Amino acid sequence: MKSTIIYDNESHKKGLKPDWGFACLVEAFGRKMLFDTGAKGSMLLDNMKKLGIEPASIDEVFISHYHWDHTGGLTDFLDLNPVRVYIPSSCPEPQNAGEVIKVEEAFRLHEGIFSTGELKGIEQSLLIETERGLVVIAGCSHPGVSSILEAASQFGKPYALIGGLHGFNEFELVKDLELICPTHCTQFISEIESVYPDKFMSGGAGEIIII
Ligand SMILES: [Zn+2]
Ligand SMILES: [Zn+2]
């Protein structure tokens, strides 16, 4: 699988604008999924253009949770490409989606691609199967990293965690992961790096992770 961070609080690549919010492109099993859409449509589409990601090439959108910094670009994106959108059931339905799938329970979207289900009534995480284990992609981790990893475990052994981890500080919870890429709202990025220097990868718009 390949994950390209499009929208993040930090920028990893010259020319890409940093902004509070998160979005990434996930390519796996022949599909291209947009995970979250950042805060502003214009900035999402601008960063996509600079990364050479054609909006028309996206097959589906996966929305982690209904916070403005994850859904702000959704309407503008769907205006260009009205694809299917997976949203937690607590989210209002986007009006211009091709199809809306409301998610409550954990389920398989496609071969090798799963959702944790809507955890604690707020947020779902995306799970991608790889030979090394599951790659877990989280928006803000509002339900807590332990609930997310526990829900993920029903589909396989978590290998990597990518995304916003908010105030996550129970660092021993991720000791069995091989790769941690904390982005966006993660408060304790430098602490995670100092506890797990070998597992740590810095995020930022333009960062590409291939597993
Ligand atoms: Zn957020
Ligand atoms: Zn949030």
- At 79 the pLDDT is 98
Q: 125, 136 in Cβ contact below 8 A? A: yes
Average pLDDT, the chain: 97
- At 195 the pLDDT is 97
The structural domains of the chain, with segments of one domain joined by +, span: 2-210
Distance CA 133, CA 145 (A): 17
Q: 201, 3 in Cβ contact below 8 A? A: no
CA of 64 to the centre of ligand 1 (A): 9
- At 58 the pLDDT is 98
CA of 42 to the centre of ligand 1 (A): 18
CA of 131 to the centre of ligand 2 (A): 30
For the chain, what percent of residues have pLDDT higher than 90?
A: 100
pTM score, two decimals?
0.97
Q: 31, 110 in Cβ contact below 8 A? A: yes
pLDDT digits (tens, 9 = 90+) for 132-172: 999 999 999 999 999 999 999 999 999 999 999 999 999 99
- Name every residue whose Cβ is closer than 8 Å to that of residue 172 and which is 6 or more positions away in sequence: none
Closest-lying ligand to the alpha carbon of 37?
Answer: 1
- At 10 the pLDDT is 95
Distance CA 177, CA 164 (A): 16
CA of 67 to the centre of ligand 2 (A): 5
CATH of domain 2-210: 3.60.15.10
Question: For 66-116, where are the alpha helices, taking DSSP H only?
Answer: 68-71, 74-80
